[in-house]
Amino acid sequence: MHDMTARVAAISGHKRSPNFLKHQRWYPTIYDLRHGSRRRLPHFAFEYGDGGAGADTGIRRNWDALDAIEMVPRYGVMPELPPVGVELFGRKYTAPIGVAPMGSPIVVWPGADKLFAAAAQRVGVPYTLGCAGGATIEEIAAIAPDVFWFQLYRFAKNDHAIGYDLVRRADAAGCHVLMLTLDVPVRTIRSREVKVGLGGGGAFKPDWRMVMGMVKCPGWAVAMMQNGQPRFANIQPYAGPNAGLNDTIRFARKEMGGAFSWDEVARYRDKWKKPMIVKGILHPADAERAVSLGIDGILVSNHGGRQIEALPAPIDCVPAVAKAVGGRATVLFDSGVRSGTDVARALALGANCVLAGKAFLWSLGALGSEGPGHAIDLFIDELQSALGQIGAHSPDEARDVMIRHPGAYDFGRNHP
């Protein structure tokens, strides 16, 4: 096992986490990290990170759609594990897998944003700081200067004064890619969050159940003592010089929201001179509209099933979006990714890169600060194995593999 791990590391070009083999014994897959996270996190923290909209049927649809995709291997063509390095937006990365933007991952594990950034920088994969994250643009730029992307929510008041200032800060800090979020047009209720005392009326008020959960999870409690209470680090300065957590929450609910209109996307495109992604695209016509405005990347996503249950699984929309884009923009995919095999499936359908969110939250719950690095290592190992198994010499060659995709969305028949 050690010889195989060393050989995989040499081929992939990245140095694995020092405790990879030890952690692999207990957590050999991403889904094992989920089970560990459930055991080791306070209940409210696990529910926040793991849950989605309604009864989680959107999350299950995302998983089921990925599981249904089959890839037909060709043998006699692959003597060893293939390299998985890629170029995205003019920069080279170790693998076509990255950390998706997440809102308040510090609720799941205090200090989460910085841990994600450090792990991504160490390995050389993209990390996207969420606008509602718990670390500032400037802090993340210092931790992950080579792999830092930034996701922006809509702040429309005062002619987008806050949004434009966040863009200015991201540019000044050296952020490589800006991501505009289109898939949160309205605020929705996530039942699992509400049931544990989160996602309610605009204030964070820990009850006795939360406190007991913290006490029973010493690793989480220590992380809280080291990092302080949750905060919206990038939004807090605009809420006022003395704004506390609940002041910032109320400010964000009032000032932040809605999906960017196409006119607004065009305005941000004019201001941001580096690569730009729009997040949340499912319809190929929207992808074509984005490309016409000079957008460099299309992230096919349904917000991980956290907004509404009735949306298609994004993986079922990837082929149509990739066909519509026709190589004029980079196609990215997220929502439901739990393995390197899922990454290979997305590549085979036309994606250039895959982002994961919940997988990295689970990694924190299971392994604390060492979790994100272990998750990245698992993704890369599994992706190499999957590509080698189907006879693809590189991520690009995955597109040449014969696939069966029963859930592929037929936009020719299903839209006017």
- What CATH number corresponds to the domain at position 337? 3.20.20.70
330-337 mean pLDDT: 97
Q: CB-based burial of residue 384 (10 Å sphere; 0-12 exposed, 13-18 middle, 19+ buried)?
A: buried
pTM above 0.95, yes or no: no
The radius of gyration of the chain's CA atoms, rounded to the nearest angstrom, is 20
Say yes or no to pLDDT of 1 above 50: no
Residue 212 lies in a domain: no
* Residue 204 belongs to a domain: no
Tell me how many domains the chain contains: 1
Residue type, 102: M
Q: Which H/E stretch holds residue 129? A: strand 127-129
In a domain, 225, yes or no: no
Type of residue at 292 = S
281-310 pLDDT, tens per residue? 999 999 999 999 999 999 999 987 777 888
Is residue 105 situated within a structural domain? yes
- Is the pLDDT reported for residue 151 higher than 70? yes
Determine, yes or no, domain membership for 413: no
Confidence of residue 3 (pLDDT cuts 50, 70, 90): very low
| Residue whose entry in the numeric block shows the structure tokens 């996190």 | 41
Report the pLDDT averaged over residues 20-25.
90
pLDDT digits (tens, 9 = 90+) for 215-254: 888 898 999 899 987 888 999 999 988 888 888 888 888 8
| pLDDT band at 60; cut points 50, 70, 90 | very high
Please classify residue 379 by burial: count the beta carbons closer than 10 Å to its beta carbon, then call 0-12 exposed, 13-18 middle and 19+ buried.
buried
Domain contains 32: yes
Predicted confidence (pLDDT) per residue in 380-410, tens digit: 999 999 999 999 999 999 999 999 999 999 8
CB-based burial label for 254 (10 Å; 0-12, 13-18, 19+) = exposed
pLDDT value for 14? 64
- Res 330: pLDDT: 98
Of 378, 369, 416, the closest CA to residue 110 belongs to 369
Residue 349 near residue 322, CB atoms below 8 Å: yes
Catalytically active residues are 303
Find tokens 């959107």 and name the residue.
Answer: 58
CB 364 within 8 A of CB 374: no
Round to whole Å and give the CA distance between 206 and 215.
13
Q: Is residue 392 in some structural domain?
A: yes
Hey, CA dihedral for 390, 344, 60, 214, is it positive or negative? positive
User: What domain range includes position 69?
Assistant: 2-191+252-401
